[in-house]
Amino acid sequence: MTRPWSRSRPTPRPRRPEVADPPPLQRRATAVLSGLMLVLGVAIIVRTVAAGGSPISIGLLLGVLFVLAGGGRLYIARRG
């Protein structure tokens, strides 16, 4: 005896909403600001290491976070 609620039915996949492409100026501005975040992150890391910062110093942590944020934004902007 099969129960009606136990039958497996294919579940519909959620659809991604259609999003319009951003204007070219916005795309360029995103790339420029993301690149600037990358450069700032590297500069913070270099400055912290040159000043004798330890591997767990706040400057090194912030520099790595800036690099990851800028790189992530560039990756998403190029991929999307």
For residue 24, pLDDT beyond 90: no
68 inside domain: yes
pTM of the predicted model, to two decimals?
Answer: 0.71
Q: pLDDT band at residue 14, thresholds of 50, 70 and 90?
A: confident
Q: Is residue 20 part of a domain?
A: no
Structural domain that includes position 54: 38-80
Whether residue 54 lies inside any domain: the answer is yes
Residue 59 resides in a domain: yes
The structural domain count of the chain equals 1
The answer to whether position 29 is within a domain reads no
**Cα–Cα dist 57/76, whole Å:** 29
Bigger pLDDT: 68 vs 8: 68
Q: Nearest 5°: phi and psi at 11?
A: -90, 135
Q: In this predicted structure, what is the pLDDT of residue 69?
A: 97
